[in-house]
Structure formats: structure tokens, C-alpha cells
Chain A
Amino acid sequence: MPALDRLEKLKILADAAKYDASCSSSGSTTRDSRGGKGVGSSEGMGICHSYAPDGRCISLLKVLMTNYCMFDCRFCVNRISSNVQRARFTPDELATLTIDFYKRNYIEGLFLSSGIIRSPDYTMEQLVETARILRHREDFRGYIHLKTIPDADPDLLREAGILADRVSINVELPTRAGLAQFAPEKDEKRIRAAMATTRAQIDGWKEERRTIRSAPIFAPAGQSTQMILGADGASDAQVLRSSADLYGSYRLKRVYYSAFSPIPDASKDLPLQRPPLMREHRVYQADWLWRFYGFGLDDLDMAMEGGMLPLDIDPKLSWALRRRDLFPVNVNRAAKEQLLRIPGLGETSVRKILSARRHARLRLDDIGKLCRNLRKIRPFIETSDWRPTNLLDRAGLRADLAPKPQQLALAL
């Protein structure tokens, strides 16, 4: 077989990496290329350099080192039993490609993962070597996200954390049983142990930095993970409980959710159907409620029916319809925490309401100016000129507020 050229390898190894939803390049240290030899900067907010027609941001060069893999995870296009074409980059090729792309302003940096070849240590060493070349030889100051391989040598994991902005390891499936069934070589306990090690290292450098300013920074953009939705039978309740555990235990920056989508050469163990994109969207919304809106596990349970979030309305509205006893909320008097619980009000609108009400008592029209969808908010609020007298008690309120079924949008 003739050797693959750079373009062919890139096609194969980017195709193999696209099922990883994460592409964030935010939240790292502030730095730039002035005073150095190379290129690259990071200023807190990441940049999406392009968008694919799947609506996903393209911020990083997201590729696998290789798509050869010893594992046989059913949901994965790169599993050992899959018949896809295989390819492999060398660390040097990858570093050069990253710099070539970066200099043309295509990307913020590199997101490198890999199939497991030979051994965890060998695979991890290849990933770390790529980051070493970028940071040391090229003096690259852009963003690097490395996948960590469970059971790799702790020294290698430590070096990965020092070279990279973010490290991650995917739990893939929310329950241990799911993992056992579909990813027999992956062990939930070992994945969590790896996350615990990373958290301990991040805690460690933060502690060290208080006394030694020059202590090396460890993964300043934190760690993240990904869960696949709809491959196993896990309910939304199980998914969200699992996320809550991960956020709390390992202080993850993000849990990404990826609706299981059909892959080329799919395993017959898995549902061959269109990816549950709406479910993915609702789970993300619930994740947001958990992280930014003060919702607890009880509240999320309240938003679900039989362990699943409704698809036709958002989780906050679903929760509010069941907790009508907490409404209406007076927008002129309520605390921030209460305002954040009003369906249809986001963090930005709440911030605006809080500052605007210092100037005048708010009327319904004013709320209309400060938020997007007054119709949805109206039944849940009280203003100086509005009370939702009977509206809130109506049995048909849910039907009123759920969006009307629409014809599917046609492609371009």
C-alpha cells in the first residue's frame, strides 16, 4: 500500500476525531507571542475560527494521532473491530501542521487525542511528545488540549498537564453498566481515578503557587469530559446525576454531551437511527441550570417525567410548571436567585433587570424591552402593572407555552 500523504492522513484522522464534541479554547492563562520566537496567544475568551454545517464551532485542529486502537468500544468508529481505513501521524508532522494552520489564522491551537496503540504509556508519550515539540521547539503559545490515557505513567500525565491548557478523559457512557456492555476494555473506576489524579495535580499547583510564583502551571483551563447520549439505555436522570458527580468530585470545567450519531461501519449492538439532537439540547440546558442557575438534583428531577426531560419544552419551564406555588415572582422585589428561576429569563436579562429596577419600578413593557420572549415569561412574573391572575393556574398553560410544531427547516 502506498504511503498516505499529509492530506489523506488529515482526512482520515480528522474524520476519526469528529465525534468528540469539545472544541473550547477558553479559560486559559493570558499570554502572547511577544518576546518569544514563535506564534500564539490566549486571552481568556476562545475564538471559533469557522463553523461546519453541523453548527459546531471549529476552534482547534482536532485530530487523532492515530485511529488504530486496541479497544473495542461499540460506539466508536475507531474500535478494533471496525473496518475503517487507518492512518497515523508522527508528532513532528502534527506539530508542523498545527503551526502551518495557526499562522494562517485557521485555528486557536491543537486538540489531540489518539487510539490506544501498544500500551497506555506509549500512546501517552506520543501525545506528550507532540506538545513538547510545539511548546519547546516552536515556542508555540496558543492553546493545546490533550486527551489523557487511563493507566499511563503519572509522570507523563503530569508533563501533559504542564504542557497543555486543558486535559480531558471521556467517561463516554453515564453508567458503569453501559460502559461494561459497550466499552468492555474501559473501566469507569480507572477513568475516575485518572480524573482524581488530575484534580489533585491542579489543586497542587494552585496551592504551590501561593508560595512559589514560578511553580509550573498545570492545565490552567482545567479538565473536561464527554458523555454519549442515546447509545445505551441510560435515562436523562442518570446522565445528569453522573455529571453532577463529576462536576462536584473533579471540578470539571465542562461535561460535553454528544448525541450518538450513526457512524460508518457501525456495530449492530447500537441503535442505528438519527442522533437525538433535541435530547442533547435539553440535557445541555439542564447542565446549564445546574452550573449557573442554582438548580439542585431535586429541582432537575422535578423537571423530568419518568427520568427524561421533556423534548417540547425547556427544563426550566418544565420545572416551573410543576412548581407553580413559587410563582408569580415580583421582578421589582425578588432576589437574583428567584429571578434566575423564571422561565425565559437568562443571566443577562436578570442582570439588566437588577440594574434597571434601581432606576424605576418596572412595568410589563419594560420587561419586554429587557428580554426576548415576554409571552413565555408573563405567566410567571408580577410587575407594577401586571399580575397573572388566572393564567398561572390554567391547566392548559403548558400547551400555550410549548412551541407549535414547525415544518422542518429546509437546508439552505
Chain B
Amino acid sequence: MRIARLDSETDFEGWRGHARALLCDGVPPEGVTWQVGAAQDSLFAILDAPAPPRDPAYRPRVSKRFLADAKLALCHRDATRFDLLYRLIHRLQDTPDLLSNALDDDVIRLNAMIKAVSRDRHKMRAFVRFRAVKGVADTFVAWFEPEHRIVEENAPFFVRRFANMNWSILTPERSAHYNRAALHFGPGTSQAEAPDGDALEDLWRAYYGAIFNPARLKVKAMSAEMPKKYWKNLPEADLIAPLIADAQKAEAGMVAAAPTSPKHLADYAFAEPTLRPGDTLAALRREAAGCALCDHACHATQTVFGEGPLDARLMVVGEQPGDREDIEGRPFIGPAGALFEAALAEAGLSRDDLYLTNAVKHFRFTPKGKTRLHQSPKIGHIDQCRWWLKAERTLIKPRVTLAMGATAIRALAGRAIPVGEARDTGFDCFDGRAGLATLHPASILRQADETVAATMRETLVADLKRARMMAMQDQSLSGQNTPSPDRPHWNHALQPSS
């Protein structure tokens, strides 16, 4: 039997040195006895200091994680922890992944010890209560009774938190002192050495009493997180019993008390859109901000209205705002917007040259965790939101309209036309103006095949160029922009109602 002697109950370096030597010597877990403090008489060979290894080439191996675990477990009050840790480190030499086996009895015990010590350490950080030392500036002393031997392990936390304060934490077995420069440890003390009060404690107790809601009494939940063993050193704990005793009375009082009548009620109604002659784009935008015509308006952040000069000759219509557009309130500023802007530049256009808007003005999505998945608008949404598109077109009077993607085509044409067909032949918008069609930039982003995506992008640029030419040509051909008489009028809805 070998005896390994440690300097103190939490002598981690000593334990580690002994464990290394014992492993090198091939000592089995049952062949060692651990002792703390001065040597006692014994029939066995006493190993005061680790002996040099018999086989200098042998290096016991152990993971960093185990060493961290062992350091914590060593703070546990269980007297068998040294044996357990040595048995584990011994077994780890042959089974390096032993710690991941949550069904192994030694691992279960180790985990339980670590959990108990971590919890105690956390509770000490929570429940230490400093009291100011009278007459000495910024100097505080706390009395605390931890369950395990955690003072040394935990003191650096208090240094980090209270680096510019003088403080001491006194406990029955160990004390920690810090003077704004260095941390040192001393023996345990009695409670009498700590101050017996602090003027601030009345305020703290007042706060504790006021923040408590008597209508939600949950004593078990409180006691689970703040076990009674800690109460004796918490200044607020005196209040617990009276607060509970009064709680039911206070709650019953509030329920029974006659309610008071509200002093005033404000009317609240959702605005129906109304466009009057002479309304400006700004007025329209303001009105649209309050739109709640369709069911997904209530899920989106805001109405994303179109933007661009009032005298724009070219109107470009997309599908609906996306995540970024919904957050910032402007059309085409997300990833598809970046692609669109680059394509515009290639076509010799900039955002300032055109009026840019969407067929549907609210973002439609399904939430998924911390993201949102785009959902295409339904036909009902497109039809409902056409009201705003009509209003925009009435004010802008674009000579040429470019619809990007199927939703925009549907909104402008009033019926579904395949994108390819609409692109080849063009289409008539609901107000009789000429409509061109192209791909939606987002569909290019979604295309996985890079060659296909590049071709699609070229198509978009070509269509933008065509739209630009037509818009300019149209202007040179006719200075006016009345729709040709043989096309149907769709904009009756915007005439002042009689």
C-alpha cells in the first residue's frame, strides 16, 4: 500500500504530481491511500513527495478537460474524492473516452461532485453580501458559509468584479483578502470578525419587499433556487416569512377591491385607403403605412412603399419586400436588391432614373427559429394590394413598365401569364400602358447552376436595356403620355368617387 500525502484538502498540484508518479509506477487504484496534512505513523511506505518514475519513457496521458474537472471535484467535501479521481485517471489511460459514458458509476459520481461544487460556487457568487467597514472608504467585508471548499477557487471571480475595492470574504475554514493589488488567503474566522450590519440593507430589504408580487406566490420555486441553508447570511431573508403570510391577504384585497372606471377611451379604427385628387406621393406613402387590408400586414413590420422620382419614365415592379426590406422600409436593399442594382448599372441605369416598387407591399413569411422564410403572396394578396399599385401608377404615369417575375406580371396584367411568354410578347397593364417582363433577381440568386445563373443575369441586363431604350424612345415619339384610346381603362377606381 502506498500513501500519498497532500498539503491541504484542495491541494490540486500535489494530487496531480502524486497521480503522475503512481501511474508511472503502475500502482492500481486500490493500492494507494491519500492523506492530508502532516504525516501520521504508518506501517506503510510513506510517499511524501512523488517518487521519480521507474520508466522515464512512460508518460501518463489525460485530457485538459479531466484536469479541470478534477480541480473542481477536489473542492468537494466527500472524503473519497482523491480515490475516485485516481481511479478515473487510472482507467482513462486505457479508455480515453471514458468521461463521455454517462452510465459509468465512476463518471456518474464525478459528474455529481462537479455539479455540486459548481452550484455551490455559483451560489457563493450570488449570495455573498458585503458590508461596508465603518470609517474606511471603499472597504467591505462579507461572512459566508459555503458547503464545499471553494473559497480559493472562487476568489478570482470577486477580484475581477471588485478590482477597485478593498474586500475580505470570511468563512469558517478559509478567508480571502484583496487590497486592490493582491489577493491572499488566510485561515478561517468566526462571524464575529465581520461587520454586523450596513446602512444600505434597509434599502435592499425595501427593494426585496417591493419587487415581490404577492399575487404569484411560488414558495417552492424560491426555495429550490435559494435553499434555506443560505438564508442565515442573507439580510433580506427575514422578510420571507412575513411577505408570504401577507401575500394571500394582499392578493385577495386586490381582487376584491372595486375596480376603477377608466377615465377616457380612445377611438381606434383601421384606416380604409382613400385617394383624393391632388394627393401627392408623400401623402399616398403615409396612408399606405397604415394599410391593413390583407391578413399578412399584421405579421410584417411595415409597408414598404415604392420610391423614385415622380416624373420617372420607367417603373420597375418586383414581387414583395424581403427580410431586410421589411426591417428598413425600402424596396430592393437585400441580396436581390444588390444583384438588381448591379444589373441596372450594366444597363446604363441607376435607381434615380426609375420608380421602383413591389406588387405586394408587405413581406409575407413563415417564421422559423430566428429567421423568416419567404412565402410567395397568394393571388388574393396580389389583387388586394393592386389598389396601391394603381395609385402609384396614377401619380407616376410611367411610359414603360418592367415587371420582374410572375407576381408582378399578375399584378399588372390582372391575369397570370407565364414569364417567358410575357417576356417575348409584352403585355398590357391594367391601365392600358405597355408592360415588359423579365426575370425576378431573386430567382437568379436561387439558381444553383452557375452557368444558368449567368445566362439569366444576362437576360435581366438585356431586358433592362430594352426597357430603358423604350422609355426614352417613347418620350421622343410622344411628349404626352395618355394611353392609346383602343386600350381598356383600368384606373376608374382612382377617379374621385361621387
Q: Which residues of A contact B (CB under 8 A)?
A: 6-7, 10-12, 14-15, 17-19, 32-41, 43, 47-58, 61-62, 72, 74, 80-83, 97, 100-101, 103-106, 176, 180-181, 184-185, 188-189, 192-193, 195-196, 199-200, 203, 244-245, 247-251, 259, 261-270, 272-275, 277, 290-291, 296-297, 352, 355-356, 358-360, 362, 366, 369-370, 409, 411-412
Contact = CB atoms under 8 A, between A and B. Distances in A.
A229 to B, nearest CB: 12
B264 A272 contact: no
A37 B165 CA distance: 10
8 contacts: A10-B203, A41-B157, A105-B128, A176-B292, A176-B298, A184-B265, A358-B101, A411-B245
A287 B209 CA distance: 30
A80 B264 CA distance: 10
A196 B326 contact: yes
A409 B220 CA distance: 9
A261 B216 contact: yes
B221 interface: yes
Given A18-B213, A34-B160, 15 more contacts: A11-B206, A14-B207, A14-B210, A32-B163, A51-B225, A55-B221, A81-B263, A100-B200, A105-B128, A192-B301, A192-B302, A249-B327, A297-B366, A297-B367, A355-B100
Contact of A51 (B222, B259, B301, B327): B222
A200 B327 contact: yes
Nearest to B100: A355
Contact of B370 (A41, A51, A195, A248): A248
Contacts of A274: 215, 251, 255
A19 B142 CA distance: 32
Given A48-B126, A53-B247, A277-B216, A370 B160 contact: no
Contacts, number: 278
B164 A38 contact: yes
B38 interface: no
A61 to B, nearest CB: 7
Contacts of A32: 160-161, 163
B58 to A, nearest CB: 26
Nearest to B125: A47
Given A34-B159, A52-B211, A275-B215, A104 B204 contact: yes
Contact of B244 (A10, A277, A411): A411
Interface in B430-487: none
Interface string B150-169: 00000001011111110000
A182 to B, nearest CB: 10
A104 B130 contact: yes
B255 A262 contact: yes
Contact of A249 (B217, B255, B367): B367
Contact of A58 (B211, B248, B299): B211
B261 A268 contact: yes
B42 interface: no
Contacts of A267: 259-262
Contacts of B243: 52-53
Main secondary structure of the interface of B (DSSP, over half): mixed
Nearest to B160: A32
A97 B372 contact: no
A369 B103 contact: yes
A54 B222 contact: yes
Interface in B317-371: 323, 326-329, 365-371
A412 B247 CA distance: 12
B415 interface: no
Nearest to B230: A50
A18 B103 CA distance: 44
A210 B214 CA distance: 48
A291 B369 contact: yes
A284 B101 CA distance: 32
Which of A37, A196, A250, A412 is the most central at the interface, judged by chain B CB atoms within 10 Å of its CB? A412
B302 A184 contact: no
In the complex, the 10 A-B pairs of residues with the closest C-beta atoms, listed nearest first:
A55-B221, A55-B218, A248-B367, A268-B259, A184-B266, A32-B160, A14-B210, A261-B215, A244-B367, A81-B263
Given A104-B198, A193-B301, A268-B260, A53 B212 contact: yes
Contacts of A80: 263
A138 to B, nearest CB: 11
B216 A55 contact: yes
Given A18-B211, A40-B161, A55-B218, A355 B200 contact: no
Nearest to B371: A248
A10 B207 contact: yes
Contacts of A247: 367, 369-370
Interface stretch (B8-16, B46-54, B234-242, B308-316): B234-242
